[in-house]
């Protein structure tokens, strides 16, 4: 995010300087950047229910909301027993990964030390990101769901049908710190002469809660 905002700030300065060279220099004084951000300003706000739809909502309404706000919340997207099955798969994956971490890297204090491996990394105190491998047969139901879930029609509408999917388990233990707002993927560069436009979206983040959020 910082690299992206630094790039935008440089682009703004370059753009203003080019205008200064083209026009009467007396029209321009110092350049002061008030804000750089990896998203549209002002930030969206409101209760979560304002972004919620159901599986029975019309697709046109959902797409309009998605384009306007950049997010959707689909209530009751899966039956409870299906969610529990997914949760059981994930809990086993977590247990296996943490046991392997203890065996392979006994010096790491899980929950307090920062670490980053291909399969698993820490995201701060007591928070972890654990990758699921599609090649593992045990996770086939999860990857099948990623391509057939109710949300995929919106992904296809925005990105087309030729897309790939990475799946991770984000989990926290008691005592985890709140995580700062951040971008989950790099932003596409925007040329300095297109300051008023933004690059088209190229990815979606889909979060499926496996615990009761109430």
pLDDT tens digits, 5-35: 556 566 666 666 666 555 555 555 566 666 6
172-202 per-position pLDDT tens digit: 999 998 887 777 777 666 554 544 455 677 8
Distance CA 111, CA 174 (A): 10
Average pLDDT, integer, range 137-156: 89
Cα-based distances in Å from 146 to 31, 140, 165? 47, 10, 7
**55 or 102: whose pLDDT is higher?**
102
Question: Residue 39 pLDDT > 70, yes or no?
Answer: no
Domain ranges of the chain: 78-182
SS3 state of residue 148: helix
For residue 33, the SS3 value is coil
pTM of the model: 0.72
Taking residue 10's Cβ as centre, other Cβ atoms within 10 Å add up to 13
What's the rounded Cα separation, in Å, for the pair 182 and 123?
Answer: 12
Cα separation, 77 vs 155, in Å, equals: 15
pLDDT at 2 (0 to 100): 45
Higher pLDDT, 52 or 115: 115
- Residue 189: predicted pLDDT: 64
Is residue 12 within 8 Å of residue 34, measured between CB atoms?
A: no
CA 77/CA 94 separation, integer angstroms: 24
Mean pLDDT of 22-51: 64
- Whether 68 has a pLDDT exceeding 60, the answer reads yes
Beta strands 120-122 and 73-74: pairing type? unpaired
Residue 22 has a pLDDT of 52
């Amino acid at each position: 995010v910082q690299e992206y905002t630094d790039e935008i700030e440089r682009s703004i300065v370059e753009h203003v300087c080019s205008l200064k060279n083209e026009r009467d220099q007396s029209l321009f004084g110092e350049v002061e950047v008030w804000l750089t951000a990896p998203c549209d300003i002002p930030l969206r706000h409101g209760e979560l229910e304002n972004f919620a739809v159901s599986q029975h909502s019309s697709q046109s309404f959902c797409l309009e909301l998605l384009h306007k706000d950049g997010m959707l919340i689909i209530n009751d997207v899966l039956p409870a027993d299906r969610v529990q099955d997914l949760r059981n798969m994930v809990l086993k994956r977590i247990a296996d990964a943490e046991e392997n971490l203890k065996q392979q890297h006994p010096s790491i204090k899980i929950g307090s030390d920062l670490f980053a491996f291909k399969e698993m990394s820490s995201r701060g105190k007591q928070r972890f990101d654990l990758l699921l491998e599609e090649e593992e047969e045990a996770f086939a139901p999860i990857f099948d769901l990623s391509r057939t879930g109710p949300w995929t029609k919106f992904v296809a509408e925005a990105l087309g049908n030729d897309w790939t999917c990475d799946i991770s388990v984000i989990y926290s233990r008691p005592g985890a710190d709140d995580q700062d707002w951040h971008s989950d993927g790099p932003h596409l560069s925007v040329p300095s002469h297109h300051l008023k436009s933004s690059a088209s979206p190229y990815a979606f983040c889909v979060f499926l809660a496996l615990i009761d959020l109430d």
